[in-house]
A and B are shown apart, each in its own frame.
Chain A
Amino acid sequence: MKDYLRNRIRFGLILILLLLGFGWFFQDHRLNFANYMEYGLIRDSFYWNASRFGILLLIVVPFGRVLTLAAHYSSQQEWVLALCSLLTALGLFAGLITAVY
């Protein structure tokens, strides 16, 4: 299980870094950080969306990890840990909804 998790994390991390690096390459490096909100990458450009997708992946990978563990524990019939992982996943969605609204 550890190796499976490691491989998934590595794959996710490489993809995230590639997408973010792609966007970073095309941004205007002469600007101050405080001004990026107005003048950084052109909003809705291909590069900006690639970066945003990288960040979305960054958020999704831990969710995926919790669900993977839940599936693993239920396949091993370890119901207490499977229930804990499922409740964690449920809590994450609840947290997401709470944070938005």
Chain B
Amino acid sequence: MEELILLLASTLAGLIGALLGLGGGIIIVPTLTLFFGVDIRYAIPASLCATIATSLSASYHNLKSDFVNIRLASLLEMSTVWGAITGFMISYFVSEVYLFYTFGFFLILSSVLMFLKKTDSMDAESDTFAEKLQLTSDHPVQNIYLGSVVMYGAGILSALLGVGGGILKTLAMDIIMKVPIKVSSATSNFMIGVTAAASTGGYFIKGDIIPELVTPIIFGVTLGSFLGSIILKKISNILLRKIFVFILLIIAFQMFWKGYHT
């Protein structure tokens, strides 16, 4: 019975992850720790494995529907990975409490911006650097430099706060780089697997990944992200934006909660 519940929760996590470019940790970690009493030490690596599986499964489907901008992902991955390493290094000197609150407020502000944006400006002109690297296909890519800096910051924050970088990646691409929401979420999904793989490797070597726990999660998220990719093709941008705003507010609430209990 427990496995079935976890399978269903993981399917939901995979579905939301594939739709919005997230790893699904916001569902999997609370499910494991609060409902099944799993130690957080084993819940976090399990959630990271789910992130990789969501990324692989969703990317497989999104590559077919041409939502993934591989060239843009290759450029931005570098910033997030090195940002995450910087985050690991400075984590000993930074107080988490204020970061949780700051990040919570930042997410609320972002959700307002996303809510106000409503449409994607497909006819906007692309950055010269983006044109030079052929990062654009049928959509604009702007503010590459600022976007890369924000991605670096996203990497730092994800390492410091233990949140998946997916939400920040989608936000940065959508709000700063003016990439359409569907391309943003699919490209973010393509990238999150790489970032998660780095830290998962460490947990794997330390023996914190329990195969019995991870297996139903991987099956669930693979199925969920398959369904999510199908929905992504059909869903309207406005509805996708509304779902994203809703999830942003949930994560903002989680951040305030964590800040209060830290």
Contacts and interface: CB of A to CB of B under 8 A. Distances in A.
Interface of A: 1-2, 5-6, 9-10, 12-13, 16-17, 20-21, 23-24, 27, 29, 31-34, 36-37, 40-41, 48, 51-52, 54-56, 58-63, 65-66, 69, 73, 78, 80-81, 84-85, 87-88, 91-92, 94-96, 98-100
Nearest to A25: B215
Contacts of A20: 211, 214-215, 218-219
A99 B212 CA distance: 23
Interface of B: 2-3, 6, 32, 36-39, 42, 49, 52-53, 55-57, 59-60, 63-64, 66, 68, 70-71, 74-75, 77-78, 81-82, 84-85, 88-89, 133, 193-194, 196-206, 209-216, 218-219, 222
Contacts of A62: 52, 55-56, 193-194, 196-197
A9 B133 contact: no
22 contacts: A6-B64, A13-B222, A21-B219, A23-B212, A32-B37, A33-B2, A34-B37, A54-B211, A59-B52, A61-B52, A69-B74, A73-B74, A81-B75, A84-B75, A85-B78, A88-B81, A95-B85, A95-B88, A98-B85, A99-B202, A99-B203, A100-B206
Contacts of A96: 198, 201-202, 205
A1 B86 CA distance: 32
Chain A: interface secondary structure?
A: helix
A27 B201 CA distance: 24
Contacts of A40: 210-212
A21 B215 contact: yes
A28 to B, nearest CB: 8
Contacts of A32: 2, 36-37
A6 B62 CA distance: 9
Chain B: interface secondary structure?
A: helix
Contacts of A29: 3
Contact of A12 (B56, B205, B209): B56
Given A54-B215, A85-B77, A92-B197, 7 more contacts: A2-B70, A6-B63, A56-B204, A58-B53, A58-B218, A69-B70, A95-B85
Contacts, number: 175
3 closest pairs, A vs B, by CB? A99-B202, A95-B198, A51-B211
Contact of B88 (A23, A69, A98): A98
Contacts of A52: 211
A59 to B, nearest CB: 5
A10 B52 contact: no
Given A34-B36, A52-B211, A17 B218 contact: yes
Nearest to B52: A58
A10 B66 CA distance: 16
A9 B53 CA distance: 10
B198 A55 contact: no
A20 to B, nearest CB: 4
Contact of B78 (A13, A59, A65, A91): A91
A6 B60 contact: yes
Nearest to B32: A33
B82 A99 contact: no
Contact of B205 (A33, A88, A94, A100): A100
Contact of B36 (A6, A12, A33): A33
B90 to A, nearest CB: 12
